[in-house]
Homo-oligomer: A and B are copies of this chain.
Amino acid sequence: MISRPPRPRERGIPEATVARLPVYLRALQSLQDRGTLTVSSEDLASAAGVNSAKLRKDLSHLGSYGTRGVGYEVQYLVYQISRELGLTQDWAVAIVGIGNLGRALANYGGFGTRGFRIAALLDADPEMVGQSVASLDVRHIDNLEDVVRSKGVSIGVITTPAASAQGVATRFVEAGVSSILNFAPVVLNVPDGVDVRKVDLSIELQILAFHAQRRADGDGRAAERAGLELT
């Protein structure tokens, strides 16, 4: 007799799967807009740009929401993924650093429809404070703690210069924000339990450059050698 059941109904969705759920969700919403009622794993996978086996395994982590011989019901799957991602509730977001990028994010409409609400804009520059961006007044960074508390901010976005980013992150954490999206090109130091995600434009370009160079090298060598193995 096995005393411990194999898994005590574990809620552990693999990280790689979590990163793909938003992609599936978007593909599904697009299908929904077109009035599609059901979709097969094959079709949804190709819309999301992944392998169909991977898609099925990913969805299987949420439960068995498909019907064999038919596929998945679009509307139901949209709801299940949204719920799993926590989009059925409303997340208040604060953006610190109202430069070009901060303004771009503030004006980006795609958030509201997906459970995110820009609740506050903050900046250190007195010139900026009081200006209205995307129907919100820019407030001074010294109000960060107040704003987090009064608006119930739970996600902080950092679009400041690199030099200020760590300070802002620390203040976010101390004010109780434990989810941070960082656009500044620095590695943030935060205590355990705080979740930081980094978006770094110049890193993406560098990765592209690496592959481009490798392709060019390969092509060059291949041309020289009149192309033997092209693995």
A contact residues vs B (CB 8 Å cutoff): 11, 18-19, 21-23, 25-27, 47-49, 84-87, 89, 91, 93, 99-101, 103-105, 107-108, 110-111, 114-116, 154-155, 178-181, 185-187, 189, 193, 195, 197, 199-215, 217
B204 touches A197 (CB 8 A): yes
Q: Nearest 6 A-B pairs (CB), nearest first?
A: A86-B213, A100-B104, A49-B187, A22-B206, A179-B208, A101-B104
A91 touches B199 (CB 8 A): no
A91 is contacted by which of B23, B91, B203, B205 (Cβ under 8 Å)? B205
Tell me which of A86, A111, A214 has the highest count of chain B C-beta atoms within 10 A of its own C-beta. A86
| Copies of this chain, count | 2
A181 touches B208 (CB 8 A): yes
A116 touches B86 (CB 8 A): no
**Beyond known contacts A114-B205, A155-B209: 15 more, CB 8 A cutoff:** A11-B217, A18-B211, A21-B210, A49-B189, A86-B209, A105-B201, A110-B185, A110-B201, A111-B205, A114-B202, A116-B202, A116-B205, A179-B211, A180-B208, A195-B208
